């Protein structure tokens, strides 16, 4: 890619967006377009149109979204649906209106059916009911994907639609009201060690299976695909390997030095029974992630401990 392209990274302060900023800066791109939420509310149609008219991006990477873990999704399903629909509709429409060269629409593995065959292939989309605990978010992501694809068909919009698995890494949230499974485990076990507690309680039964990918690896995958995958068809981005939440908790506990007991609150939901992506399409193009889960967890623990000491 031409290093002088004007690239708008929407959501540049989030976990995925900040990883993309680090990567593009490292690769020598000199004209990144960035805007804080306080400067640009992508839910606002007029503000979004004015921003695109003023900045005229060549490429748009839509990493802006309202995201959160199972508790946040269950508590605020309306917000997850509304906010994400508004963000997506405004940005994708402006990509056509302003003749953007390429749109990257970042999806999620939660778009697949709750009882999807495993590993989940791209063609399994819309083959069954969604997981109820994150249906609002999933519906929004499916709508955004389809809008990008329909605009590609109707107007010739060049769009890339990567669907990543569960992500983690730098700039993840540690707010238990909002955060994802892995960052929540890091916080719970790290706090227990610091406070000399001998018990940690975790939602669910621990039997649900999840696949994890470091956010720097998904940024690398997006960069890789922007040059080598010219299709609006979705493409899964993940490691292709999963584990139970119980196994994950044991790994995080060992990495934090927690030696106490773990209690599972089975009155709380597990979410989707299993989410493991089929990454055959991605690996056939030549991409594989580089950061192991153990390395990534160690980095996340260090980040959380540094934040806690401030």
The CA dihedral of 58, 89, 137, 66, to the nearest 10 degrees, is: 60
Q: Decide if 2 is inside a domain.
A: no
216 and 175 within one domain: no
pTM above 0.85, yes or no: yes
270 and 161 within one domain: no
Q: Decide if 255 is inside a domain.
A: yes
137 catalytic per annotation: yes
216 and 204 within one domain: no
First to last CA, the chain: 40
Query: In terms of C-beta density within 10 A (0-12 exposed, 13-18 middle, 19 or more buried), how is residue 70 classed?
Result: buried
162 and 19 within one domain: yes
232 and 114 within one domain: yes
* CATH number of the CATH domain containing 130: 3.40.50.720
In tens digits, the chain (310 residues) has pLDDT values of 899 999 999 999 999 999 999 999 999 999 999 999 999 999 999 999 999 999 999 999 999 999 988 888 999 999 999 999 999 999 999 999 999 999 999 999 999 999 999 999 999 999 999 999 999 999 999 999 999 999 999 999 999 999 999 999 999 999 988 888 899 999 999 999 999 999 999 999 999 999 999 999 999 999 999 999 999 999 999 999 999 999 999 999 999 999 999 999 999 999 999 999 999 999 999 999 999 999 999 999 999 999 988 7
For 252, the domain range is 170-209+241-275+291-308
Q: Decide if 285 is inside a domain.
A: no
157 and 255 within one domain: no
250 and 197 within one domain: yes
260 and 162 within one domain: no
The total domain count for the chain is 2
48 and 80 within one domain: yes
Active-site residue identified among 112, 137, 151, 304 = 137
């Amino acid at each position: 890619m031409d290093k002088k392209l004007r690239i708008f990274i929407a959501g540049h302060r989030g976990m995925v967006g900040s990883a993309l900023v680090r990567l593009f800066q490292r690769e020598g791109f000199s004209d990144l377009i960035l805007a804080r939420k306080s400067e640009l509310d992508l839910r606002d149609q007029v503000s979004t149109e004015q921003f695109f008219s003023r900045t005229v991006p060549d490429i748009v990477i839509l990493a802006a979204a309202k995201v959160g873990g199972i508790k946040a999704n269950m508590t605020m399903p309306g917000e997850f649906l509304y906010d994400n629909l508004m963000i997506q509709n405004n940005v994708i429409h402006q990509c056509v209106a302003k003749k953007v060269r390429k749109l990257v629409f970042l999806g999620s593995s939660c778009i697949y059916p709750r009882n999807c065959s495993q590993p989940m292939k791209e063609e399994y989309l819309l083959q069954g009911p969604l997981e109820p605990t994150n249906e609002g978010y999933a519906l929004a992501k499916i709508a955004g994907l389809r809008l990008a694809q329909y605009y590609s068909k109707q107007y010739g919009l060049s769009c890339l639609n990567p669907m990543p698995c569960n992500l983690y890494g730098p700039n993840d949230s540690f707010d238990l009201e909002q955060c994802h499974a892995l960052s929540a485990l890091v916080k719970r076990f790290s706090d227990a060690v610091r406070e000399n507690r001998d018990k940690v309680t975790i939602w669910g039964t621990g039997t649900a299976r999840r696949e994890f990918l470091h956010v720097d690896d998904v940024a690398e995958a997006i960069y890789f695909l922007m040059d080598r995958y010219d299709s609006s068809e979705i493409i899964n981005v993940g490691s292709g390997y999963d584990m139970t939440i119980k196994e994950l908790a044991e790994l995080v506990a060992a990495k934090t030095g927690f030696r106490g007991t773990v209690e599972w609150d089975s009155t709380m939901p597990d979410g989707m029974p299993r989410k493991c992506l089929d990454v055959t399409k991605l690996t056939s193009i030549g991409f594989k992630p580089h950061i192991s889960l153990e390395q990534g967890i160690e980095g996340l623990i260090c980040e959380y401990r540094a934040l806690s000491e401030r």
